[in-house]
Amino acid sequence: MTIVASPTPPTALIDRLVGIVGPAHCLFREGELFAYECDGLTLAPRTPLAVVLPATTEEVARIVRACRDFDRSFVPRGAGTGLSGGAHATEDSVLIECSRMNRVLEIDPGNRLAVVQPGVVNAELSQAVAHLGLFYAPDPSSQQACTIGGNIAENSGGPHTLKYGTTTNHILALEMVLPDGRIERFGNRVGEGPGFDWVGAIVGSEGTLGIVTEACVRLTPIPEGVETLLAIFDDVVAACRAVGRVIRSGVVPAAMEIVDRRTIEAVEASVYAAGLPKSAGAVLIVELDGNPVCLDGEIRLIHEACRREGCQAIERARNDEERTRFWRARKGAFGAMGRLAPDLYVHDAVVPRVHLPAILEKICEICDRYRLKLANVFHAGDGNLHPNICFDKRDPDELERVMKAGAEILEACVAVGGVISGEHGIGVEKRDYMHLVFDDSDLECMTRLRQTFNPDAACNPGKMIPTPRFCVEANPRARGYDAVPIG
């Protein structure tokens, strides 16, 4: 890819932005923009025109109006941990970074809710309410860094969504700056506003309907009892079958995660070694929580399910240290894989759970065929796969193989009734694969929703809905993202 020269920075716009947020919070030097050229997805980087860091809703609205006056698009960004490029800018858009809007505005323990600014960090919200016996349930793997605003944009999930649901189940009301600069409130504190469920539509809209500037979120009581089990299987197929049996047994674990042989090997060779036996072909981690009197019975059912699928051994964590050790096999995977090559492509797709064993074989076959280093860790209880592919994007041939394998994986998942994203979102990464799942009329309905809020696609252009649809809008501002540029 050739480096496209940025259009000359419009000094008048910069001056106006500086006037809104102050010089310390408006960035436009080369290095500053360079660091903002991508989020957690390092493919397809694009340098923004400027980066502004507002502190209030009013500032966000004024920034949006300034961008409109200068006919520039704008892109909201949280911590930039997203993996689908949802916070990638274009060369003529202003990046609105919400990291400074990080205050918890109100905590209402009686009604189990909190009002927060979008830049509040997921894990820190849970910490802030822990003394009240409450927590914020959605727990994406990046929870120590990602923000509630970003979670709302992506409808983030996590290991424990099996029982607690994703972000959409925990957002009651929102304040949003619309793409025309108006400030609107949606929903209410009981989570049921009169009229359309705007909140439900905004959550997961990847920042294409406006910029969320405040959220009222549901808090959940910390469960009284927690039990973590680790079951070791000969192979991943048996582990998947055990998951099926657990689901059939009527137990709803808080989390059910599988780590495959390739991941176990990588983890055990790294500093995250969890002490798993060499014979382990797959590991299933099951976490149960709730009323302690019920947990013993549930553990018996899990044991039964695993034994019937011939598990080698099953361990029960006796304390928090052991629980941490069990989870290390899961949580260390990302890091252990990351060390194997300069780049790591964390895929995300969902299949009906009964198809897990077959699809895993298929994914391994695809990656072997493209000579790629692959490992699987996944939210088995949800059927949410995360094939991790290690590569070096400086090697154009390898990069091409990664992209081809990725496309085949998505096609295989869709073929069995799955979808192309369970929690990372579409962004720029998968925009051109939307046709695998949806036909033109389905996408047309999505376009209608976007046009209602964002008629000229000035807010976060080029995301989620594929290009042909985009051109239909005949919007000169929407240039960029013709195809995902590589490299």
Partner 1 sequence: MASDAGGIPEREGVGSGLREGLRAAIYSKTLDCVHCGLCLQSCPTYRVTGRETASPRGRIYLMRGFAEGRLQDPELLVEEAFACLGCRACETACPSGVRYGEMLERTRAVVRSEEKDASLSTKIERFALREIVPRPRRLGILVGLLRWVQALRLDRLSTLLPRGLRDRVALAPRVPPRRERRRMPLLTPAEGVRRGRVALFEGCVMPELFGRVNDAARLVLSRAGYEVIVPRNQGCCGALHAHSGEIGFARELALRNVRAFTGELGQLDAIIVTSAGCSASMREAESWIGESGGVLADGVRDVLDFLDDARPGLPLRPIPKRVCYDDACHLVHAQGVAAGPRRLLQAIPELVLVSHRNPEACCGAAGIYNLTRPEMSRAVLQPKIDALIEAGPDLVATANPGCAMQLSAGLAARHSEIGVVHPIELLEEATRPVTA
Partner 2 sequence: MTESPASTGLHPDPVEIPGAVVERIFEPTRPEEVGRIVREAANKGDGLLVFGGRTRLHQANPAREIRFGLCLRGLSGIDEFEPEEGVLHVAAGTRIREVREAVHAEGWALPLDPPGPSSTVGGTIASAAVGPRAQSFGRVADAILGLDLVGGDGVASRCGGRVVKNVTGYDLAKLYCGSFGTLGIVTGAWLRLHPKSAVRRVFVTQPGPGLVEFDRHRRWAGLASVSALVWREDPEAGSRQVTIELAGSEEGVRHDHAWLSDRAELVEVEPDEMDRIRDERAAKGPGPLALRVRVLGTECGAMVQRLLDSGLAVSVDPGPGTIHARGRLAHPEALLAIRESARESGGLAVFERLPDTWRRELDVFGLESGHAALHASLKARFDPGGILNPGRFEAGGDRDGV
User: Binders of partner 2 among 416-475, rule CB under 8 A?
Assistant: 417-426, 430, 434, 437-439, 441-446, 448-453, 464-465
User: Between residue 379 and residue 398, which ones bind partner 1 under the rule CB under 8 A?
Assistant: 394
| Rounded (to 5) percent helix, strand, coil in the chain | 40, 20, 40
Report the relative pairing of strands 343-346 and 93-97 from DSSP bridges.
unpaired
CA 155, CA 23: separation in Å to the nearest integer?
33
Question: What type of residue sits at position 50?
Answer: A
CA 61, CA 52: separation in Å to the nearest integer?
12
Residue 390 has a CB neighbour count (10 Å cut-off) of: 20
Rule CB under 8 A: is residue 204 a binding residue for partner 2? Answer: yes
Pattern of binders to partner 1 over 337-376, x per CB under 8 A?
Answer: -xx--xxx--------------------------------
**Least CB distance from residue 354 to partner 1, whole Å?**
32
The residue among 310, 320, 315, 321 whose CA lies nearest residue 299 is 315
Interface residue with partner 1 among 22, 191, 223, 335 (CB under 8 A) is 335
Quick one: which segment of 77-85, 166-174, 207-215, 284-292 binds partner 1 (CB under 8 A)?
77-85
Under 8 Å between Cβ of 173 and 188? yes
Pattern of binders to partner 2 over 338-377, x per CB under 8 A?
Answer: ------------xxxxx-----------------------
Interface residue with partner 1 among 332, 381, 387, 418 (CB under 8 A) is 332
User: Between residue 141 and residue 180, which ones bind partner 2 under the rule CB under 8 A?
Assistant: 154-155, 157, 161, 165-166, 168-169
| Residue 161 binding partner per list partner 2, partner 1, none, with a CB distance cut-off of 5 to 8 Å that depends on partner kind | partner 2
* Cα maximum dimension of the chain: 70
Distance of alpha carbon 50 from its chain centroid, rounded? 25
Residue 150 vs 466, nearer CB to partner 1: 150
| Residue 102 binding partner per list partner 1, partner 2, none, with a CB distance cut-off of 5 to 8 Å that depends on partner kind | partner 1
**Least CB distance from residue 194 to partner 1, whole Å?**
36
| Residue 423 binding partner per list partner 1, partner 2, none, with a CB distance cut-off of 5 to 8 Å that depends on partner kind | partner 2
Question: What type of residue sits at position 441?
Answer: S
Residue 197 vs 411, nearer CB to partner 2: 197
What CA–CA distances, in Å, run from 164 to 68, 206, 252, 298?
A: 40, 21, 10, 17
3-state secondary structure of 3: coil
Residue 17 vs 53, nearer CB to partner 1: 53
Under 8 Å between Cβ of 118 and 147? yes
Residue 325 vs 331, nearer CB to partner 1: 331
| Residue 204 binding partner per list partner 2, partner 1, none, with a CB distance cut-off of 5 to 8 Å that depends on partner kind | partner 2
User: Between residue 17 and residue 36, which ones bind partner 1 under the rule CB under 8 A?
Assistant: 24-25, 27, 29-32, 34-36
CA atoms in the 13 A half-sphere facing the CB of 248: 11
The residue among 381, 372, 435 whose CA lies nearest residue 404 is 372
Rule CB under 8 A: is residue 330 a binding residue for partner 2? Answer: no
Residue 84 vs 454, nearer CB to partner 1: 84
Residue 73 has a CB neighbour count (10 Å cut-off) of: 27
Under 8 Å between Cβ of 309 and 238? yes
Rule CB under 8 A: is residue 331 a binding residue for partner 1? Answer: yes
Give the count of residues interacting with partner 2 (CB under 8 A). 84
The residue among 7, 120, 118, 14 whose CA lies nearest residue 63 is 14
| Residue 298 binding partner per list partner 2, partner 1, none, with a CB distance cut-off of 5 to 8 Å that depends on partner kind | partner 2
Rule CB under 8 A: is residue 293 a binding residue for partner 2? Answer: yes
What CA–CA distances, in Å, run from 136 to 129, 169, 185, 186?
A: 8, 11, 22, 20
| Residue 264 binding partner per list partner 1, partner 2, none, with a CB distance cut-off of 5 to 8 Å that depends on partner kind | none
User: Between residue 132 and residue 161, which ones bind partner 1 under the rule CB under 8 A?
Assistant: 142, 144-146
Residue 36 vs 136, nearer CB to partner 1: 36
CB within 8 A of 99, min separation 6: which ones?
53, 78, 79, 119, 147
Tokens 């799942």, located at residue: 437
**Least CB distance from residue 312 to partner 2, whole Å?**
24
CA 170, CA 115: separation in Å to the nearest integer?
12
Residue 273 vs 419, nearer CB to partner 2: 419
Under 8 Å between Cβ of 483 and 467? yes
Q: Which residues in this chain contact partner 1 in the complex, by CB under 8 A?
A: 3, 24-25, 27, 29-32, 34-36, 38-40, 42, 51, 53, 79-81, 97, 99-100, 102, 119, 121, 123-124, 142, 144-146, 270-271, 331-332, 334-335, 338-339, 342-344, 394
